[in-house]
Structures are given as C-alpha cells and as structure tokens.
Amino acid sequence: MRAAGLILVVDDQAPTREALASELREAGFEVLSAGGGAEAWELFRRRRFDLVVSDLRMPEGDGFSLLRRIHGRCSPHPDVPVFLVSAYGTNRRILRAGQLGAREFLTLDETGIAEVVRRARVLLAEGRVALPAELVGESAGIRRVRAQLAAAAPLEVPILLEGGAGSGRGAAARYLHRLGPNAAEPLVTVRCGVDEREGVPRDRWVYLANVERLAPQTQERWREELQDQEAGRPAVARVIASTVADLLQLASDGGFDAELWRRLGRFTIRLPSLSERGPDFAALCEALARRAQDAVQRHNVRLGARAVERLRRERWSDGIPALEHVIRQLVAFHPGGTLGAAEVEQVLQAGADARAAARFRAEREKLARQYREAGSLTALAERLGTSRNGARYRLEKYGLYRPGDRPRRDAEEA
C-alpha cells in the first residue's frame, strides 16, 4: 500500500531524471520514470498515476505534446494533474502550459527539485479536492473547464469565469479557490450590485459574482486595485470574477470599464450551459442526488433511469440550480426506493402550479395597484391601452371587479 501516491517522472536527461525521482522517493512517493514522451505514454496507459512530472524540452515529443495526450479524448485518466518543468521559464511558456491544462510550471534552478517535491506533497499528501456536482461529467466542454481550473489555481492572476445563468460559475469559483495554494484562507464573495462595499476588500481571495453589475465608481476602484497589483504594490492577491454578460461588448458600448475588463479577461474560463452538457446529464443528476441525500439525510432514495430520462426532457432555462431544486424535492419527500418518471412528473407539475399561482398573485397585485392609482374604470382603460370593457374583463379575471360595481370616480363621471 503506497502512502503518498504514484508519480511518473519524464526527462530525457538521466542525471536530472534520477535526481528528481530519488528526492520524490525520499519524500515517500512511489516513482516510475521515462526517458521520453513515447515511453511515458506507454507507462501512463498501463498504470493509474496520481501525478506526472515532465520536462518541457525533449527530443522525442516535448512536454506540451505529452500534456495534450494526457488530457486528450483518448486518455484513460484525463484528470491526472501534470507538472511541467524546465531549465528556462518564460511568461509565454507559462501561459501556454496553463492553457493546455498543466497544474504547475516550475523552473528547475538550484531550488527547483525541492520545490517540485513540496508542490507534490501539497497536491497529493493532503488528498485530492472533492469535485463539486456542477463540474462532473466527461463531455469535452466540462473536461476542458476542469483542466483550465486546475491550471489556473496556482497562478497569482485574476480569473474570469463566463457562463449563462445556472451554469455553475459559483461552484467553479469555490473549487478554484480550494485547488489553490491558499485554500485555508476564506473566499470572500461580493455579490456585485447587491452587497458591494465602500472600499476594496483587503482579503487574500475575493470572488466578484456578476461583475457586470458593478457600479461605475466601484469598477474604477477595482481597476486601480488591479493596476496596483500589476505594479507590485500591496494589493489583493487574487481576484476571481464571474459574468453572464459579454464584457467585451459592454466595454465597447461604454457600459463597463475597458481597462478593468482587459485586466480581468486575460485568463478567461467559459462554463458550458446545461443544454450543452447532454453527455453529462445522467452523471450530473446522480451527483446532485447524492448532494441532496447528504443534505436531507435520505440515503434510501435513488434516481432510476426513467426518472433521469424524464428530467432530461424538461427545459431547464434556469440551469443547474433549477434541476437541483427538483431533485432535492424528489429525494426529500419520497418514502424510499427508486424514483421513476411518475414521481418526477408530480414534482414538476407541482412546481409549475406553484409558479403559475405566484405569477397570478403578482399580476393581481399589480392590476389592483393600477386600479387604485387610476381611480376609475375609464382611467384604468386608458392606462392599459384598452377599452372599458377590456379593463373590466381584466378586473373580473382577477376578482377585483364584479358586475354592478361602480367605483366612486366612475359614479361622479356619470
């Protein structure tokens, strides 16, 4: 039984390869080594590694090529983290490594091997970070997102998460925080347009949810903050932002600070919508059901194949939160056993009835207010752009006017 994890070390230079492997074994890891990309890929296909540490420059397939294969469609274990190491590190190489999904890019200077060992301990000895339900699945889109989140986690740069309503941006932000080197520190969430602070929070990690809603003066403060960060002055160390809008278009139209967008958007991760994740739907439902079971302590209820298929046919315009709400209702109120399509239909119908009743109440209250403000049926008709008979019909529909009623101002007009 191995205590720390199995690591694959790849380097065409035998002295460096043997030195790195030796240090990792001293740290308690099991290590296999390869002298090039082809040999490494054969080992990777046969064994389940916890980490791959690969040199960047090799004559037989460079580290970037190996990284693409490990995270590619035909990989047996596409979520295995990869450290790329090189004697020379440039910003361009670091950025490319991050875009391809490398977990770390490390320069093997005089302290480089010790740093590889330290990072491996942090990643593996303390266990892997649990994947949130919103990010499960094996579709190309969600695998790309997971790889990009893993690559972005150690970087001290702002990260922008794009995606429609209900795509899991908040879960991705929290996962990104837990993957990072400062996961023990709290993630401070600022709901832009709702609970913005007077000043910029002086916290290690800040999540700006719906950043497109930032007030103009707040946008200016955050732009200055990120400028200070780039200049090396004391600043918030890490900003994660999310948006449902096209910030580039907003900035072009003058609705968002262009310089702030430029600084936030350098490393952008787009989350696919629920409708784009067809291959993941069953796995997503199962993960949400497990979370619901844990939340309500009902582990004797499970989703059957017919229940999942009925959920799949529904249109989820509000995304994952709406799907999770229905699944939680199913788990919480079922006596036990396997849920089928009939149980799903009942919950969906009850939800539709509740939404219809809520819309009816809201429309009734709005019409009643308009009637009070208008003061007469004639004035209400003018306000609604209809005839007196049309206005009366609407009032009767909502129980606000009965035949024979004569509002006071109508009586005066007569």
The domain ranges of the chain are 6-128, 152-272, 275-339, 352-413
Report residue 285 as tokens. Answer: 């439902």
Distance separating alpha carbons of residues 188 and 208, to the nearest angstrom: 9
Distance separating alpha carbons of residues 79 and 273, to the nearest angstrom: 21
pLDDT given at position 414: 33
Distance separating alpha carbons of residues 136 and 78, to the nearest angstrom: 13
pLDDT given at position 405: 55
pLDDT given at position 227: 84
Distance separating alpha carbons of residues 334 and 329, to the nearest angstrom: 8
Residues 306-328, mean pLDDT to the nearest whole number: 93
- Burial class of residue 289, CB neighbours in 10 A (0-12, 13-18, 19+): buried
Distance separating alpha carbons of residues 224 and 130, to the nearest angstrom: 35
270-302 pLDDT per residue, tens:
999 999 999 999 999 999 998 888 888 787 888
Report residue 290 as tokens. Answer: 């497990």
Report residue 396 as tokens. Answer: 């009767």
pLDDT given at position 170: 94
Q: Inform me whether the pLDDT recorded for 154 exceeds 90.
A: no
3-state SS, residue 160: strand
205-225 pLDDT per residue, tens:
889 999 999 988 889 888 888
CATH topology of domain 275-339: Helicase, Ruva Protein; domain 3 (1.10.8)
3-state SS, residue 65: helix
Q: Inform me whether the pLDDT recorded for 303 exceeds 70.
A: yes
pLDDT given at position 92: 59
Give counts: helices (H), strands (E), the chain.
17, 12
pLDDT band at residue 413 under the 50/70/90 scheme: very low
CATH of 6-128 given 3.40.50.1970, 1.20.1530.20, 3.40.50.300, 3.40.50.2300 = 3.40.50.2300
229-254 pLDDT per residue, tens:
777 665 565 799 999 999 999 999 99
Q: Give the CA dihedral 155, 158, 159, 163, nearest 10 degrees.
A: 180
Residues 387-397, mean pLDDT to the nearest whole number: 86
Which is it for the CA torsion 270, 92, 71, 104, positive or negative?
Answer: negative
5-15 pLDDT per residue, tens:
789 999 988 99
How is 126-152 classified by DSSP, letter by letter?
T-PPPPPGGG---SHHHHHHHHHHHHH
**CA-wise closest residue to 304 among 336, 352, 349:** 336
pLDDT given at position 32: 93
pLDDT band at residue 261 under the 50/70/90 scheme: very high
Q: What proportion of the chain, given as a percentage, has pLDDT over 70?
A: 86
**DSSP annotation of 278:** G
Distance separating alpha carbons of residues 151 and 78, to the nearest angstrom: 13
Q: How many CB atoms lie within 10 A of CB 321?
A: 16
Residue at token pair 């948006």: 243
**CA-wise closest residue to 166 among 312, 287, 275:** 275
pLDDT given at position 181: 72
pLDDT given at position 340: 92
Mean of the per-residue pLDDT values for the chain? 83
Q: Could you check whether 6-128 and 152-272 share the same CATH topology?
A: yes
122-134 pLDDT per residue, tens:
777 545 567 889 9
pLDDT given at position 101: 60
pLDDT top residue among 405 and 50: 50
Distance separating alpha carbons of residues 344 and 306, to the nearest angstrom: 9
- Give the lowest-confidence range in 146-150, 325-329, 331-335, 350-354: 350-354
pLDDT band at residue 172 under the 50/70/90 scheme: very high
Q: What is the CATH number of domain 152-272?
A: 3.40.50.300
pLDDT band at residue 1 under the 50/70/90 scheme: very low
132-147 pLDDT per residue, tens:
899 998 888 998 898 8
Inter-residue contact 133 to 284 (CB < 8 Å): yes
pLDDT given at position 2: 40
pLDDT given at position 194: 82
